[in-house]
Structure 1
Amino acid sequence: MDVTAQKKASIGLVITAFAIVFIVWGSTYFFIGIAVKGFPPMLMGAVRYLSAGFLLLAWCGLKGDRVRIKKELISAAISGLLMLFVATGIVIWVEITLPSALVAILVSANPIWFIILDKANWRTNLKTKTTVYGLLIGFAGILLLFGESLLHSFSGRLDGSVLRGLLLLMISPIAWSAGSLYAKKHASQAPARVNTAWQMIIAGFAFLPAGLIHREFDSFTLSSVPLQSWLAITYLIVFGSIGAFSAYIWLLQVRPATQVSIHSYVNPVIAVLLGVGFANESITGLQVIGLFVILFSVLLVNLPKYAPPSLKKPIWIRPQILKQ
């Protein structure tokens, strides 16, 4: 999105959208943990995104939007599958065995992957030492988070499903960052809410065969779903998907992708507070240290964007290397 387009966005709307993404997405980890206690994970993803997608598409129709976007449908499919089916699908899946607070901590490395995968802007993003230091420190934080679990695994004290969940969570932020960058690069002329609706619908349909493969429909009955799970999935549909994801897609159209990714500062903190305070989840001291190390690395990665020009010293890497 060019600078002119970015200036057209109201500052008030931008702040509101960021607040929605910060607070609501920070709470979704907690509500996903409640929802999967009543819904099988893939079926939960299908119900959440198909409901949210069709509701939002109906709203777009009432607003008079052009909801049939044949040219942009492929772009919506690719970004929606990466962000919602792969990235969020992994989060839903692993919350069967992992605490929601730990899941939020592990996916807090999103901004690091934004920098790594945004090859077109390497020359800009990697021109300062603070960015490179931030990337290195971020990976050190990830190693801290995994270090304790790996030690337990070697000693036989860690369940295999927990270890698989931790390894899968390495893929989630990569898929999310890749999908976000693809959505920004292939921005549609249609309103953001239309693209969001199709992304959720396509991802929702992708969850259905995944649920069949996992045999989730064999023993599932609606009567077995507790009230708390129904309330949780309703929150995820209305606030987590329609509200926050729409705000996120709109922000990608009007602000730089790396700036939008700073929601990772706040989301894990809110998730940890909710998980520990209301779900009686336990977080070890090493995991808390890992969280702060990752958040500090995210701060370093984004610092050059806000620092005065006098502090933006070029990195020692030669320009010809960056051009490759």
Structure 2
Amino acid sequence: MPSTSTKTASPLWVIIAFATVYLVWGSTYFFIRFAMQGGFPPFFLGAVRFIIAGLIMMTWCVIKKEKIFNKKDIITASITGILLLFVANGIVIWSEQTLPSAMVAILVSSAPIWFVVLDKPHWSVNFRSTATIIGLIIGFGGVILLFSEQIGNIFKSADAQAKLPWMLLLVVGTISWSGGSIYSKNRKSTSSTTVSSAWQMLAAGLVYVPVSFLHGEYKGLHLQNIQPHGWMGLIYLIIFGSIAGFSAYVWLLQVRPATQVSTYAYVNPVIAVILGIFFGGEHISLTQIGGLAVILLSVLLINLSKYRKEKKAVELVNG
């Protein structure tokens, strides 16, 4: 992903980056579970995934002779990485062991709403855009509709009340992700996107290590006992989920409005459902099809006002 110091970027690169975040991150829920089923403990998985991905990216930066040591940038990247990849991502991984994936997907999809609430510098823009606000509400409603059948089963279960603390914890994780993303976007960095992403992953990966020890994950862990599909899941998460997906996300935050970038949270559950249909033998109902349509409509609405402004700006320039 080419680095940029401005708020403009090639439309082609923007499309590629959005496609990467939409498609790849929609599949990471599947591969996280895949890796854990293969024998990787959750926090150990996070440590290995982000440390290896960060080292690979940092090595590439060194080969390209980029400046990697800037104290201010490292501190900013470390705070961002811990908020996004450790707090938010770690809560998702931890919660998936207790909560059904449908409930996790719904609570995580509230991220776009928190983006608008926490992005104070852009309140005057976001809250004046009717299309954006309606799109956010419709999108969240679409995700609920998509998983409405599973939600009913969750609240009918005997341990429904026991799941409430985990649901609240997921809300905290979602706020952490949104807040960390906005913090990163509003902090100017002299480092390239690749360098920033590498430091973010390394910082998060290193924090995962002591947490994994505290949870006793290293006791009885033998790498030779990890199943082949566990290694396959880890490799996918490193290459696609971290290096490709996260780098694209960090870059998009620098060149597009946060509300636009946050639409990944609505699209990812769609990709997860589609993967479940094709690879998990799951079936899709008319209600779910309706939910998919509503979600896609919301993404269109959220982007509509921005597209109109850009079109008007182009027309003014061309006279």
* Superposition TM-score, scaled by structure 1 size: 0.81
1:165 CA drift (Å):
4.0
- The residue number in structure 2 matching 1:315 is none
Give the secondary-structure state (helix, strand or coil) at the position aligned to 1:66: coil
Distance 1:43 1:268, change over 3 A: same
Distance 1:254 1:306, change over 3 A: closer
1:252 CA drift (Å):
1.6
Query: C-alpha separation between the residues in 2 aligned to 1:308 and 1:184?
Result: 21
Instruction: Confirm whether residue 31 of structure 1 aligns to residue 31 of structure 2.
Output: yes
Query: C-alpha separation between the residues in 2 aligned to 1:52 and 1:272?
Result: 27
1:102-139 superposed Cα distances (whole Å, 9 cap, x missing partner)? 53444223222211111111111101334444455556
CA contact (8 A) 2:102 2:150 kept: no
- The residue number in structure 2 matching 1:14 is 14
CA contact (8 A) 1:34 1:232 kept: yes
1:182-235 superposed Cα distances (whole Å, 9 cap, x missing partner)? 111113111110000000000001111211222211232212211101111011
Instruction: Confirm whether residue 63 of structure 1 aligns to residue 64 of structure 2.
Output: yes
CA contact (8 A) 2:106 2:143 kept: no
CA contact (8 A) 1:187 1:253 kept: no
Query: C-alpha separation between the residues in 2 aligned to 1:247 and 1:135?
Result: 22
CA contact (8 A) 1:75 1:183 kept: yes
Identity %: 50
Query: C-alpha separation between the residues in 1 aligned to 2:5 and 2:63?
Result: 29
1:142 CA drift (Å):
7.1
- The residue number in structure 2 matching 1:213 is 214
- The residue number in structure 2 matching 1:128 is 129
After alignment, is 299-308 or 86-95 more displaced? 299-308
CA contact (8 A) 2:24 2:240 kept: yes
Query: C-alpha separation between the residues in 2 aligned to 1:12 and 1:298?
Result: 19
CA contact (8 A) 1:111 1:298 kept: no
Query: C-alpha separation between the residues in 2 aligned to 1:279 and 1:80?
Result: 32
- The residue number in structure 1 matching 2:314 is none
- The residue number in structure 2 matching 1:321 is none
Gap regions ≥5 residues in structure 2:
311-319
- The residue number in structure 1 matching 2:189 is 188
1:286 CA drift (Å):
7.0
CA contact (8 A) 1:102 1:283 kept: no
Instruction: Confirm whether residue 275 of structure 1 aligns to residue 276 of structure 2.
Output: yes
Distance 1:270 1:145, change over 3 A: closer
Distance 1:17 1:145, change over 3 A: closer
Q: How does 1:132-211 map to 2 (within 5 A)?
A: 132-137=133-138, 156-158=157-159, 162-211=163-212
Query: C-alpha separation between the residues in 2 aligned to 1:101 and 1:277?
Result: 17
- The residue number in structure 1 matching 2:255 is 254
Query: C-alpha separation between the residues in 2 aligned to 1:156 and 1:213?
Result: 31
Instruction: Confirm whether residue 42 of structure 1 aligns to residue 43 of structure 2.
Output: yes
1:262-281 superposed Cα distances (whole Å, 9 cap, x missing partner)? 33343221111113432356
* Superposition TM-score, scaled by structure 2 size: 0.82
Distance 1:39 1:16, change over 3 A: same
Query: C-alpha separation between the residues in 1 aligned to 2:152 and 2:267?
Result: 29
Instruction: Confirm whether residue 75 of structure 1 aligns to residue 79 of structure 2.
Output: no
1:287 CA drift (Å):
7.3
Query: C-alpha separation between the residues in 2 aligned to 1:306 and 1:212?
Result: 48
CA contact (8 A) 2:143 2:266 kept: no
CA contact (8 A) 1:109 1:138 kept: no
CA contact (8 A) 2:86 2:204 kept: yes
Query: C-alpha separation between the residues in 2 aligned to 1:160 and 1:170?
Result: 16
Distance 1:167 1:291, change over 3 A: farther
Distance 1:81 1:127, change over 3 A: same
- The residue number in structure 1 matching 2:228 is 227
Name the aligned partner's letter for residue 18 of structure 2.
F
